[in-house]
Amino acid sequence: MSLIAQQRAVALTWVSRSLPVVPCSRTDKGAMVPGFGKDKTPDEMAPFSDPEQVSQWWSSGRFARAHVGLLTGRGGPDGRGLLVIDCDMVKADTVLPERYAGVASGVDVLEAIASAAGAEWPETYTVVTPSGGVHLYFWQPADGPLIGCATGEGSTAPHLGPLIDVRGIGGYVIAAGSYSAAQGVAYRKTNDSPAQPQRLPGWLLALLRRPAPAATPRPARVHQLPAGDRAERYALAALNGEVDKVSSAHAGDRWRVLTAAAVRLGELAETAPRVLTEAAVTDSLLSAATAAGMTEGDHRLRTIITSAWSKGLTGGFGGAAA
């Protein structure tokens, strides 16, 4: 069977199971057809489950050899679709919180989470990815709101932990059976896993729907004005401003905001050395980072702050921190 015919057969197999599909890039796995977001209507979603349209996508042209993306949170036996837990492998540039130092994959992280919950590893339809990662397929819960998507660790549901992505309503994963010559191996179901996705175990559902944590108080700003000159008053205002930026930074942007703040304050330190001491800047930004939800640990955060501060002192980042 040719690769085109194989990919088309995989796509149509999933459609026959009432699960919608989308062509995805063979290189970065990005979806190649838009229009399947979580707020789309059934009519807007219809092409992704239409056998004729699906067959056309995987017959010729730019989609013919595409990966088969499996849309989550749609279709299935009750229309609520899949919820997939994607456990990634550690990469060379992966930065993990101290409590997960030494883990090799999201599987290790999920095992630790299950152990902490006093639970067993969840047995369900399981797919091994070409890179060695693992996809765990579950059906979305039968009641309550659909579970959405999340990447890595975070303080809000449905984040689970580092190296773990959650793919629910509005998301997708590369389907079991899909193959890319660039990777040289198919996404494949493990032989010993159940033939069908299972219901989410209670302990995992509880984590995916846990309530938002109580708001963390923002770090105290330095209100007292030194008896110094205009430069010191400006430096104090700059310190307070950077503390506010870091403490309110959004997930995914916190490292950049934190390092930029430390660099900027390092650049200003010479103008007000009594105000912008290394201790004052480090303690203030560490408090702000913790308030923002950064969970990498005090030692790791202090190292990042002091390194960026030192670059600011020497002008090592040039104008990039502005």
- The helix (run of H) or strand (run of E) holding residue 137 is strand 134-139
pLDDT of residue 8: 97
147 near 140, Cβ under 8 Å?
A: yes
Give residue 320's pLDDT: 34
How far is it, in rounded angstroms, from Cα 163 to Cα 111? Answer: 12
Q: Count CA atoms closer than 13 A to 250's CA, side-chain side.
A: 1
Q: Identify the helix (H) or strand (E) that includes residue 3.
A: helix 3-16
Q: Integer distance in angstroms from the first to the last C-alpha of the chain?
A: 56
Question: Cα-flanking dihedrals φ and ψ of residue 265, to 5°?
Answer: -70, -35
Q: In the prediction, which pLDDT does 272 show?
A: 87
Please give the torsion angle defined by the CA atoms of residues 246, 250, 253 and 258, in that order, rounded to the nearest 10 degrees.
10
pLDDT value at residue 159: 94
pLDDT value for 74: 96
φ, ψ of residue 108 to 5 degrees: the values are -60, -40
pLDDT for 227? 52
- Return the closest-CA partner of residue 251 out of 154, 147, 148: 154
The answer to whether 83 and 74 are in contact (CB under 8 A) is no
pLDDT at position 234: 86
Q: Does the bond joining 158 to the residue before it have cis omega, within 30 degrees of 0? A: yes
pLDDT at site 224: 54
Tell me the CB-side half-sphere exposure of residue 157, using CA atoms within 13 A: 15
One-letter amino acid at 110 equals L
Regions of the chain with pLDDT less than 50: 316-322
> How many CA atoms lie within 13 Å of 161's alpha carbon, on the beta-carbon side?
24
Domain residue limits, the chain: 3-208, 230-314
Neighbours of 138 (CB within 10 A): 23
Q: What is the DSSP letter of 250?
A: P
Distance CA 287, CA 220 (A): 8
Integer Cα distance of 154 and 114 in angstroms: 17
Query: Residues 201-214: pLDDT tens digits?
Result: 999 999 999 887 66
- Specify the pLDDT at position 321: 33
Structure tokens at 294: 């950064």
